[in-house]
Structure 1
Amino acid sequence: MADWTEAARKLAAEITGAAPEWHDAVRATPRHLLVPRWWEPVPDSYPFVWGLRAPDPEQPWERVHGNETLVTRVGEHHADHAEVGARQGGLPTSSSTLPGLIVDMLHLLDPQPADRVLDVGTGSGYSAALLAHRLGDDPVTSIDIDRYLVEAAGERLAGFGRTPRIEVADATGSLPEGEYDRIVATVSVRPIPSSWLEALRPGGRIVTTIVGTSLLISADMGTDGVARGRVQPGPASFMRTRQAPDYPARLDEVYTAARDQDGEEVRSLTGPMPDLWSDWELRCLFELTTPDIENRSATCDDGTGILWLLASDGSWARAEGASGTVHQSGPRRLWDELDDVQRTWEAADRFPLHELSVELHPDRGSLASPDGQWMVDL
């Protein structure tokens, strides 16, 4: 049987075309040792039920060395502690991220040989492995809130000769001041923790994502203690930072109220019903201005859609493509808020989100459109 190196070579060729400096690191990293098993959604299950998977004995390297995200933890249940064929409900709480996205972020990070790098969100240890291969072990520190993830990643990395510093730490807590030249986060945050800015040296760079959005940002630290940069093209999503073993439950009770009953207010749609899944830019802008709104959608037998917006205070909205109506209830009118965002964006000629500038101060952060007419605090 062939070994894993050919699968890793194919992955490196696939994902490092625009980042050739990371080719050797991808080719040399045995991802299968970092992710021996994982969770996959069971088809046609909603909310998702997850089934445990392990490599195919006939092709043991192909799947793990593919360019896909592999979920390693659902709720409090790590794949390492479950049997093949097991089923588990809940939200993903850790994963081995899409290797191509990791390479894109590391290319954007652009660490130099003498740089000290903080990798926020150890997970399986894959990003730490790539960094340590290219820079050496000593300059790389990786942190995660989950002690088991830290211990497992450390042992597995050491198994193929990689020994970066890996520590249990809250990513939003304190960090050594002026310690790092680069910070890359594979968890999403909002706001950007002040400790990250304090830990970054002048001239250093942060690459991270914003909670609830698909916005990838890069910002360089100035001598004035302010990091400035911009949103990058294309979507990039990560799980948010957490302090507990699991995330809060989804808003199922609000959804039950919103699913098919009449709202306190019923009105007609003012235009085509947006698809917040495909129109990720509108979804990001809505989340930026209206944080922590859960959206769910369904397609009816006639091909028309239904979209629900849900909030933890009990507010909800439901838009029905077939009838062209909007139902809203609760202390807020969520569909009106979505309409406001859409109108504002259209009035600004639907500027591409990668034109947004980023400014990060220790006590605040902001995104702004090129003309300065659209701005939101982070």
Structure 2
Amino acid sequence: MPSKERTIDSVSDWTDAARKLADEVTAAAPEWHDSVSSTPRHQLVPRWWEPIPDSYPFAWGLRTPKPDQQWAEVYADETLVTRVGALHADYADLSDRPAGLPTSSSTLPGLIVRMLHLLDPHKHDQVLDVGTGSGYSAALLAHRLGDKQVTSIDLDPYLVDAARERLADFGRTPRLEIADATGSLPDTNYDRIMATVAVRPIPPAWLDALRAGGKIVTTITGTSLMINADKHPDGVVRGHVQPDPATFMRTRRETDYPARLDHVFNAARDQPGDETRQLTGPIPDLWDDWQLRCLYELDTPDIENRSATRDDGSQLLWLLAADGSWARADSETKTIHQSGPRGLWDDLQRVQARWTAAGRFPLDTMTVELREDRNALIGPDGHWTLEL
């Protein structure tokens, strides 16, 4: 009888688990198979955080590998959150229950491989890895290109020190530096720049440090847009939005991100607004319709959206801004409520109407132009330009 196909759950050695992960995530990028299969992710992420179901405020519990399935989770194609707020999993006790937003993670390997495939580094390229995190991206790059070709930066001294030590434990010694991703860089010349933190705009230092013919792969803060762009002889970095969504944590200078807008939500939850009018169409689903959500964020940045579905299937959508502006759409009462200095629902409708009039073009048909004084995404007809 033919033997059953093994799953990671039944694998006893990490190299088998890593090889299985490599088989899964490098099918479209075979040049990275050896790097993935040779990198001991468990040494870079010995413990991590997982959300506690049905907790509010959102709380996290500490996880370590299960004794009977030692490699099942760490070698799955999943993101492992390593820090919540100021508390890194390395320093945590099993009783800790931090609440808040993730501030560092080891990104799902499949996404890292997709970005590396777009980056397409060559043997002698100097590569800047922005956002060291656990050190996994730096490990893959250093394995394929050599340690001397890779520089990795992170704002957090502990992340840099821990990654340096853990990488060295299995023979990898890329250059790791503590640096603000939006400020000065360790060097002034790179052939490739890849960021696993989101930025907006693209920092001028990146554009200046990128050599002619070099590539940047990064994501745009607050959106699910990944861009891949090349530096041309005229100094302009030009490229395209990629078809599949990808989201990373935004750059930060503080230990934690600003708190969610609960105080605005409390006012918006069920109170009448300064303005009330009839809902004339379906409420957009800003989670499933990620392209509309991205266009809205690019047009009207930093709007927090929350949604709910009642037992009867009726829907609610809240739009919240730090200046106290809010909007609530309710499909049961078919009403829109708005308050504050800005009309957030009006802004969403305006963006939705303009995109509809333009034929709801896929966002991967947008081109990117990055200059030190101006970043822009340009629609396929050239008539809609969104500044970053």
* Aligned residue pair count: 378
Task: Give the match for residue 386 of structure 2.
Answer: 376
Note the C-alpha offset of 1:46. Answer: 3.2
Partner letter of residue 82 of structure 2?
Answer: T
Match of 1:212 among 222, 243, 246: 222
**1:7-65 CA-partner distances (Å, limit 9, x unpaired):** 11111011100000000000000101100011111001233111111110111111000
Note the C-alpha offset of 1:202. Answer: 0.3
Task: Give the match for residue 237 of structure 2.
Answer: 227
- SS at structure 2 position matched to 1:105: helix
On the 8 A contact 2:243/2:363 being kept in 1, the answer is: yes
Partner letter of residue 355 of structure 2?
Answer: W
2-side partners of 1:325 and 1:19: how far apart? 49
On the 8 A contact 1:53/1:85 being kept in 2, the answer is: no
Task: Give the match for residue 105 of structure 1.
Answer: 115
On the 8 A contact 1:177/1:198 being kept in 2, the answer is: no
Match of 1:76 among 86, 98, 101: 86
- SS at structure 1 position matched to 2:307: strand
2-side partners of 1:59 and 1:99: how far apart? 19
Task: Give the match for residue 255 of structure 1.
Answer: 265
1-side partners of 2:50 and 2:187: how far apart? 40
Aligned-pair Cα RMSD in Å: 1.0
Structure 1 gap ranges (5+): none
Task: Give the match for residue 316 of structure 1.
Answer: 326
Post-superposition, which runs of at least 4 consecutive aligned residues in structure 1 deviate over 2 A? 175-178
1:264 correspondence with 2:243: no
Match of 1:32 among 16, 36, 42: 42
**1:262-307 CA-partner distances (Å, limit 9, x unpaired):** 1111111221110101100000000000000001111111122111
Note the C-alpha offset of 1:178. Answer: 4.2
1-side partners of 2:186 and 2:24: how far apart? 37
2-side partners of 1:164 and 1:29: how far apart? 14
2-side partners of 1:30 and 1:234: how far apart? 27
Task: Give the match for residue 101 of structure 2.
Answer: 91
Give me the TM-score of the superposition, normalised by structure 2: 0.96
2-side partners of 1:319 and 1:95: how far apart? 34
Match of 2:16 among 3, 6, 29: 6
On the 8 A contact 1:176/1:199 being kept in 2, the answer is: no
2-side partners of 1:105 and 1:224: how far apart? 25
- SS at structure 1 position matched to 2:158: helix
On the 8 A contact 2:189/2:210 being kept in 1, the answer is: yes
1:64 correspondence with 2:64: no
Identity of counterpart residues, as a percentage?
70
**1:121-162 CA-partner distances (Å, limit 9, x unpaired):** 000000000000000100000000000000000000000111
On the 8 A contact 2:177/2:186 being kept in 1, the answer is: no
Of the structure 1 ranges 312-321 and 174-183, higher mean CA displacement relative to structure 2 is found in 174-183
Paired residues for 1:117-128 under 5 Å: 117-128=127-138
Match of 1:165 among 148, 166, 175: 175
Task: Give the match for residue 369 of structure 2.
Answer: 359
Note the C-alpha offset of 1:176. Answer: 5.3
Note the C-alpha offset of 1:85. Answer: 4.3
Task: Give the match for residue 245 of structure 1.
Answer: 255
2-side partners of 1:332 and 1:340: how far apart? 13
- SS at structure 2 position matched to 1:156: helix
1:48 correspondence with 2:45: no
**1:79-130 CA-partner distances (Å, limit 9, x unpaired):** 0000224211011100000110000000000000010000000000000000
- SS at structure 1 position matched to 2:16: helix
Partner letter of residue 33 of structure 1?
Answer: Q
Match of 2:159 among 149, 153, 159: 149
1:327 correspondence with 2:354: no
1-side partners of 2:33 and 2:373: how far apart? 38
Give me the TM-score of the superposition, normalised by structure 1: 0.99
Task: Give the match for residue 342 of structure 1.
Answer: 352
Note the C-alpha offset of 1:351. Answer: 0.2
1:296 correspondence with 2:303: no
- SS at structure 1 position matched to 2:55: coil
On the 8 A contact 2:179/2:185 being kept in 1, the answer is: no
**1:250-272 CA-partner distances (Å, limit 9, x unpaired):** 11100110011011111112211
Match of 1:16 among 3, 10, 26: 26
